[in-house]
Amino acid sequence: MLHIFPERMLFYMSTKEMINCRLNPADIYRLNRIFEGYDGLGIVSTRDNKAGLVVVYVTPDTYPEALTIIQNAPFPVEVLPD
């Protein structure tokens, strides 16, 4: 069985493969559901649920579309610098 440790994967990922965001903690579930609806576009992972910090893992090909979805979410989402 393959075990994946996200904290170790960050070292190997380029900045175009993850989008760091801050949002209202109550909206984390909603952002996750939006990305689940775009099957395979990105994976939302919570970094700090109390602070509303998440990372959206994407591929370089899906980065622009994922960023557009985040920027047009029906609730405020702040895209954090790399």
**Predicted pLDDT at 82:** 78
> Please, are residues 20 and 82 in contact by the beta-carbon 8 Å criterion?
yes
> Please, are residues 57 and 15 in contact by the beta-carbon 8 Å criterion?
no
Under DSSP, the state recorded for 59 is: -
pLDDT at 80 over 80: yes
- The verdict on pTM exceeding 0.95 is no
Reported as a single tens digit per residue, the pLDDT across 33-56 is 999 999 989 999 999 999 999 999
pLDDT at 11 over 60: no
**Predicted pLDDT at 5:** 53
Domains assigned to the chain: 6-79 (3.30.70.250)
